[in-house]
Amino acid sequence: MINTFPILDEYENYMLAVLNRSDLTVKNYKGDIIIFFRYMKIDKGLVPKNTEFHDIDISDIDLKFVSGIKTNDIFAYLIWLSREQNLNSASRSRKISSLRSFYKYCCVKKHLFENNPTLELENPKKNKRSPKYLTLEESQALINAAYNAPTQSNERDYCIVILFLNCGMRLAELRGINLSDIHGDILTVIGKGNKERTIYLNKSCVDAIDEWLKVRDSYKIKPEAKDALFISKKGLRLSEDMIQITIKNLLAQSGLDTKTYSVHKLRHTAATLMYKYGHVDLRSLQTILGHASVSTTQIYTHVDDDLLHQAVESNPLADFKPEDI
């Protein structure tokens, strides 16, 4: 366990108890702040030479040190993240968000000091990239690979692939599904920020779940996992790592590049297929995916050049030819 400092421990409790942040969000924010103060100790010459970065002790960080951080110190930190750690703009933006939240807590909530060094910070400009996703044909190949896989977990793995590709769930959401969350063709999942949302299951999903449930009881399920939908061979709730490994193996069996595609790319694939072939509007897609803002969902409007081409061709002036006068 990493020894932190009292203010950070209090902030961690604040995120959990008051802001109701998820365990993963709290872990990420706390980790960002630990990295920042380790860097600051190096920058201030408070660390012996040749000390490994992860061995830097921050338990001696006090209020004077925290309040003494200047905006220029954070600028130097961001340059270090970019040039030395090769973090992209999205990752650096997350680091800034973590620091903003921490210093807002110190200055606004606890009134520990007045000068907030994060007020003048701007998020790095993000490079707009279209999300990577499987084509319809590649998605069908993955489904076939899962359906025909010669493994004991065939029905389970097939069901996982079907839910990913049809519902666009996040990894943690799929792993957390309980039997009690399923009511016919309606599924309730817990998304980011512990927000509950409803997902409507199509026939492929319902059939895949039914087939998996027929063999699920043959697993020796531990009491603590009796309500979990997806079970490991050890009778426990299937881990995120195991789900990722399963998908990676099936992608490879489908002849797809496992360095390009991943579990999260299946979420992008589901969203893209719904937008491209189902002509789902952005607000509906936002609800299905559980995005807090429609601006996040808008990335899927850039992936369908075919629809753009069709839109131009459907213009009533597309075939109009002027007459000689």
> For the segment 80-104, what is each residue's pLDDT rounded down to a tens digit?
998 889 888 888 888 999 999 999 9
Is 268 annotated as catalytic?
A: no
- DSSP β-bridge partners for residue 231: 237
Q: Which of 116, 119, 91, 84 is nearest to 31 (CA)?
A: 91
What's the confidence (pLDDT) of residue 124?
Answer: 67
Sequence-ordered list of residues with C-beta below 8 angstroms from that of 325, at least 6 positions apart, any chain: none
b/e code 253-278 from CB counts within 10 Å (16+ = b): ebebeeeebbbebbbbbbbbbbbbee
What's the confidence (pLDDT) of residue 288?
Answer: 76
CA distance 201 to 209: 10
CA distance 239 to 245: 10
Decide: 129 and 245 in contact? Cβ < 8 Å: no
Is the pLDDT confidence value at 309 over 60? no
Decide: 251 and 261 in contact? Cβ < 8 Å: yes
> What confidence category does residue 105 fall into, taking pLDDT thresholds of 50, 70 and 90?
very high
Where do the CATH 1.10.443.10 domains begin and end in the chain?
Answer: 136-306
The residue-averaged pLDDT of 41-47 equals 94
Percent of the chain exceeding pLDDT 70 equals: 86
CA distance 23 to 12: 10
**The one catalytic residue among 30, 38, 156, 291:** 291
The residue-averaged pLDDT of 27-48 equals 94
**The one catalytic residue among 94, 170, 248, 276:** 170
Q: Which of 77, 102, 100 is nearest to 87 (CA)?
A: 77
Is 267 annotated as catalytic?
A: yes
Sequence-ordered list of residues with C-beta below 8 angstroms from that of 83, at least 6 positions apart, any chain: none
- Chain length of the chain: 325
Is 248 annotated as catalytic?
A: no
**The one catalytic residue among 95, 216, 267, 268:** 267
- 61 vs 267: which has the higher pLDDT: 61
CA distance 304 to 277: 10
Q: Which of 207, 176, 125 is nearest to 290 (CA)?
A: 176
**The one catalytic residue among 100, 192, 197, 248:** 192
b/e code 167-185 from CB counts within 10 Å (16+ = b): bbbbbbbbbbbeeebbeee
Is 291 annotated as catalytic?
A: yes
Q: Which CATH superfamily is domain 136-306 in?
A: Intergrase catalytic core (1.10.443.10)
Radius of gyration of the chain (CA): 24
Give the number of other CB atoms < 10 A from CB of residue 224. 10
Query: Which amino acid makes up residue 90?
Result: A
Decide: 254 and 283 in contact? Cβ < 8 Å: no
What's the confidence (pLDDT) of residue 290?
Answer: 77
Is the pLDDT confidence value at 296 over 70? no
> What confidence category does residue 21 fall into, taking pLDDT thresholds of 50, 70 and 90?
confident
**The one catalytic residue among 104, 197, 248, 264:** 264
Is the pLDDT confidence value at 206 over 90? yes
What's the confidence (pLDDT) of residue 289?
Answer: 79
What's the confidence (pLDDT) of residue 268?
Answer: 85
Decide: 59 and 8 in contact? Cβ < 8 Å: no
Q: Edge-to-edge strands of the sheet including 186-190?
A: 182-183, 186-190, 196-200
CA distance 271 to 274: 5
**The one catalytic residue among 29, 39, 261, 300:** 300
Percent of the chain exceeding pLDDT 90 equals: 55
What's the confidence (pLDDT) of residue 100?
Answer: 94
Decide: 267 and 169 in contact? Cβ < 8 Å: yes
The gap between the terminal CA atoms of the chain, to the nearest Å, is: 85
Predicted TM-score of the model (pTM): 0.58
Is the pLDDT confidence value at 315 over 90? no
